[in-house]
Amino acid sequence: MRLLRFTLRAMLLVPWLLGGLLTLALLYYPVFKVGRGETIVRGWSRVLLRWCCGVRCEVSGQPIMEGSVLWTSNHVSWVDIFVINSVRASIFVAKKEVREWPLIGWLAAGVGTLFLDRAYRQAVREIGQAVEIHFRRGRSVGLFPEGTTTDGMRLLPFRSGLFAPAVDAGVPVQPVALVFTQDGRRSSRAAFTGDQSLMANIWCILSTPGLLVKLYFLPVLEMHEGADQTVRRSQVARMAEQAVRNVVEI
């Protein structure tokens, strides 16, 4: 059954990914305004998850749906970007390796993902400048502050560097906790960790029944006044980390 399930879903996934690339190339940039483009990304992501990957999404809380916002989330798998995009199309900051993934990396780049090369000394500053531009345009920006993926059962410390554009501009920071379950129980089946290949992870997801991602949109963090910017960034990062940890590590 796993092989059959994988085969049927893969037969949907590949043309859907190729169709997404074609849409980006022919329609997204030259024809559609930002609002319409975001609607396309949101709908496309929902179809990708539910029908191509067999992953259902359940939203809890009040996501900020208009204006600038920084969504800071734990990171489990390559599907995380599309899970959040299914709620509101967002610009993501991701590690540079994602850009090299076939089809998925190309799609991520096409919708504006910012790729961070931590080996490059000026990378955080330059990414921060790009994020500021998106905030001025009223966009949602998604950030995975752990810097890597986990099995979804634990949380790594949040890095504070990329909180700077939101803190400096007074943009709302809303923590988001992603909790993966299978048939009602916590599961690490979708986790893309260790030395697992992308294809191996795609196999795990497409061949598994009953996968559900619960998105917990937690209360917007209160910015502390009076402290210098470096201290405020660190404080916001720690508050975001604790808020997500309270949901993920239960």
Strands 140-143 and 69-73: parallel
pLDDT score, position 226: 59
Burial of 33 (0-12, 13-18, 19+ CB in 10 A): exposed
Domain ranges of the chain: 1-249
pLDDT band at residue 156, thresholds of 50, 70 and 90? very high
What pLDDT shows up at residue 32?
A: 46
Q: Could you give the count of Cα atoms lying within 13 Å of 81 in the half-sphere of its Cβ? A: 18
CB 14 within 8 A of CB 218: no
* Residue entry with tokens 């089946």: 189
Of the options 3.40.1130, 3.40.720, 3.30.1490, 3.40.50, the CATH number for the domain spanning 1-249: 3.40.1130
Residue 31 has pLDDT above 50, yes or no: no
Which residue stretches of 30-103 are H helix?
34-47, 80-85
Asked whether the whole model's pTM tops 0.85, one would answer yes
User: Which three-class secondary structure state does DSSP give residue 155?
Assistant: coil
- Please report, for residues 168, 227, 237, the alpha-carbon distance to residue 230 in angstroms, rounded to integers and kept in the order given: 10, 8, 11
Per-residue pLDDT tens over the stretch 70-104? 999 999 999 999 999 999 999 999 888 888 888 88
Count of helix runs (H) and strand runs (E) in the chain: 8, 8
Confidence of residue 33 (pLDDT cuts 50, 70, 90): low
Instruction: Read off the pLDDT of residues 203-215 as tens digits, 9 standing for 90 and up.
Output: 999 999 999 999 9
Contact of 26 with 40, CB cutoff 8 Å: no
